[in-house]
Structure 1
Amino acid sequence: MRRFLIGWILIVLLLPFAAAWFYHEWDEKNSRIEQETSSLQIEIQGDGEYRLGVTDYLTGAVAAQIPADFEMETLKAQAVLARTCLYRRSGSKMLMDASDIGLTWLDESDRKQLWGISYQENNTKIHQAVQETDGQILYYGGQMILPAWFFVGNGMTRSGKEALGEDIPWLQQVESKWDLESENYQTEVAMTKKQMIRLLKQDCPDFVCTPDSLAMNCGITSVDSAGYVLELQVGNQILSGEEFRYALNLPSACFKIAFEGKQVRLTVYGQGNGLGFDQYGANSQAKEGKNYEQLLEYYLTGVKVGE
């Protein structure tokens, strides 16, 4: 009888705490559902097939696209960029295969491996950035855009018309002086002539050139007004700056080439394609007090953030 009374007393005492915990879990779950304005589901293929809502999917996408230690306003800007890309690709669909979206994405195990002991802190921070911009996307002239972004530039973003051959009104040349302060602003890459030839042949099987004639048959023939290489002659091939960049695994297509004996030295400026939203430059501005809407509207000419 005594044990029964003690058990009953414990149940009575703990019941309010259990109810409070249950209510908190239920309230948090439902408030999250209310905050997520889209019913779009993203199907993930991997070890097993599963589906995620927009918030959970974008948390993994933003984690893959930008350093987690950047300012909250920069992370919010990146969340808006990723969401805009997702919605633009999904259109009116309510179910989208992740492989059709075109965004790099990290699942939970990838994020834990990337961040280690900082996983909980970083994941919470990025999840917050996604939640606090819920439903917000980028428009130009009332139409949803397809945005572009990169990590750090050479001090100037590129014109879409010059870089892509298409006049995209929100991809205009914009000054980004903060890039010059980045430790990733300039990269020196060195290799032998033979190594360069081997890399080019891997990417372009028709490429023909000898080490002895490489210096005489390699030259930049066209650059855009931001300083990025548009075209160069190498051996028997005419390559775009981006083709050359990817073949040699260079940080960007803004580079200079110098030959010294058997060596090739490439000085590369910035990291990424140089188009649109400059993450490093935006983060420097966020530290100066700019909010995410101001960051986006600075780098993407004429855009507006809205739902």
Structure 2
Amino acid sequence: MMQETMEKRANRTVGKSRQKDFFAVLLFFFLLPYTCSSVVRAGQEKTVETIVPVSGRTVRMQSGSDVRTMTEEAFLIGALAAVIPAEYEPEALKAQAVILRSSCVAGGHLEEAVLENGMTGAAQESISQSSVSAVEPRIIDSNSGFSYLDKAQRKRLWGEQADVLEERCREAVRASSGYVLEWQGAAVSAPFFRLSAGRTRSGTELFGQESDWCKSIVCPVDEAAEDFLQEKSMKTERFFGMLEAEGVSVEKDAPKLVLTRDSAGYVLNVRAGRSSIEGERFRQLFELPSSCFFLEEQGGKMVITTKGIGHGIGLDQYYANALAKQGASAEEILELFFPGLLKKTE
């Protein structure tokens, strides 16, 4: 069954634009529930900070009914802080910054800006919308697949270490300026997640040849992570009731679930008779940290054991940090996960 499923997926042909949009949705739909971040809400405190614009490009972000314009660098600092522990190694942070910048480019969110006052040095994080003359980029909103923490949120998150960690994020963005990930001449929205189940998933296996650039690699250190194995249990009756509410009909007399996995061990779908539910939807339904999970009924309870954290596709942040500790550069880390994609555009 698994081979048949994989063959069907491998034969699926997807255009470039559709593929890029899919990964943008993937980042938002699968990763956001497992981060501490959110797009800035309306009415939140706005903190003004000074940022030296390296690229000269801007990002427009919607907050409630307001739209703010900020420098690319200012946005990437807040986005970086939202999706990866700032305590991670500098080279791991730089690799993540490249991925975020690439997603901005792929999504059409960056645009060259010329300020009316001719300012080319220090710029504020929040720039008056009326002071910018540029072709409007696509606005980043809650559906764009990005997380962002403003200066006040970052201070609350980091506490006494705020100044140190702020500078780490700032330096990662500055040091990676101009670098993006490109495939066949176009920037890609490369996926990322926190911790694998032992290896990352294959883009080709899941989505076909259009995603051949997203490789499956072994991540040997992940099994030693503190949160690698997690367990959740509930009454069997409640478990099957939740599945039935999702349209998965389970035989009362002899309930049997069949799990189909990909080569990395992540669940593609859970089948009961003629009905089924996709692995990622199952993960969301039962609020699991990973779609690499195992089911076992014990004494009237269903025990769900998971491996790793996140969807398992793309950059494994935990392994990237381990590689950085061993001396790997951001370029080497990105080459491992996305071979041949790193490009300098400025």
Q: What band does the TM-score fall into relative to the shorter chain?
A: 0.7 to 0.9
Instruction: Identify if the C-alpha distance between structure 1 residues 223 and 195 changes in structure 2 by more than 3 Å, giving closer, same or farther.
Output: same
Paired positions, count: 272
Match of 2:285 in 1: 247
2:263 is the counterpart of 1:237 = no
Alignment of 1:147-162 (within 5 A): 147-162=190-205
Which residue type is aligned with residue 203 of structure 2?
A: G
Whether contact under 8 Å (1:40, 1:96) holds in the other structure is: no
Instruction: Give the TM-score, by structure 1 length.
Output: 0.81
2:336 is the counterpart of 1:298 = yes
Whether contact under 8 Å (1:171, 1:276) holds in the other structure is: yes
Instruction: Give the TM-score, by structure 2 length.
Output: 0.72
Counterpart CA distance in 2 for 1:237 and 1:109 is 47
Alignment of 1:104-143 (within 5 A): 104-143=147-186
CA RMSD between the two structures: 2.4
Quick check: 42-51 or 224-233, which moved more? 42-51
Whether contact under 8 Å (2:290, 2:309) holds in the other structure is: yes
Which residue type is aligned with residue 68 of structure 2?
A: Y
Alignment of 1:1-307 (within 5 A): 32-33=52-53, 35=54, 37-46=55-64, 48-90=66-108, 94-99=136-141, 101-165=144-208, 167-200=210-243, 204=246, 206-209=247-250, 213=253, 216-220=255-259, 222-234=260-272, 237-307=275-345
Structure with more helix by fraction: 1
Whether contact under 8 Å (1:208, 1:235) holds in the other structure is: yes
Which residue type is aligned with residue 332 of structure 2?
A: Q
Whether contact under 8 Å (1:42, 1:52) holds in the other structure is: yes
Counterpart CA distance in 2 for 1:305 and 1:172 is 18
Which residue type is aligned with residue 264 of structure 2?
A: A
By how many angstroms is 1:304 displaced?
2.2
Larger Rg: 1
Counterpart CA distance in 1 for 2:207 and 2:305 is 23
By how many angstroms is 1:260 displaced?
0.9
Cα deviation per residue 1:30-51 (whole Å; 9 max; x = unaligned)?
Answer: 9x23x2x142332331385422
What stretches of structure 2 of length at least 5 have no aligned partner? 1-48, 112-134
What stretches of structure 1 of length at least 5 have no aligned partner? 1-27
Question: Identity of counterpart residues, as a percentage?
Answer: 30
Match of 1:14 in 2: none
By how many angstroms is 1:125 displaced?
1.2
